[in-house]
Amino acid sequence: MINVPELLAPAGSLDKLKVAIDYGANAVYLAGLKFGLRSAAENFTLQELEEGVKYAHERSALVYVVLNGFLHDQDLEELPEFVEFLEKVKIDAVIASDLGVIKTVRKYSNIAVHLSTQASCLNVESAKFWKKQGVERVVLGRETSIKEAGRIKREAGVEVEMFVHG
């Protein structure tokens, strides 16, 4: 059996989400108006997020929401309401880098957690640590070779994701 990799594309707007999926992306990642690193970017309103998830799921594509900002306590206090909304609209996973964010997502939802590349996971021990925190997939740092990624996947027992360019 051939294992076909997931093609994950960025979706900076609802139009870009639709184009990515229509042209073959298996999954897209996007941000809401808060909690992401690129707060000045276009990003999705709650209504757009709900519409985007519906569009993706009707076409058998997945939606991951980035919560990859490093949050202060005040921001963490606002996060549960957004996490509950994400679960209600049935996103497929969040991509996070901050341990407080990961703990909050795990406490207030059953949403899968993927570790953002911002966490710089480059080795087996780091991947094992994040798995113990409830992370199902680690987005490895760009410095990781394919051979290293294979070792991390085997020895840590987590899904791995790598960036490709071309």
* Long-range Cβ pairs for the range 15-18 (8 Å, 24+): 17/52, 17/55, 17/56, 17/63, 18/55
User: What pLDDT, in 10s, does the model give residues 45-85?
Assistant: 999 999 999 999 999 999 999 998 888 899 899 999 999 99
Confidence of residue 25 (pLDDT cuts 50, 70, 90): very high
* Residue 56 confidence (pLDDT): 98
Domain boundary assignment for the chain: 8-119
pLDDT of 1 reads 72
Strands (E), the chain: 8-10, 27-30, 62-67, 93-96, 112-115, 135-139, 159-161
DSSP secondary structure of 46-59: HHHHHHHHHHHHHT
Residue 39 pLDDT exceeds 80: no
Residue 62 confidence (pLDDT) = 98
Q: What is the pLDDT of residues 90-134, one digit of tens each?
A: 999 999 999 999 999 999 999 999 999 999 999 999 999 999 999
Domain 8-119: CATH superfamily is Aldolase class I (3.20.20.70)
Query: For residue 166, what pLDDT is reported?
Result: 54
Rounded to two decimals, the pTM is: 0.93
Contact 93, 114 (CB under 8 A): yes
Tell me the CA end-to-end span of the chain in Å, nearest whole number: 26
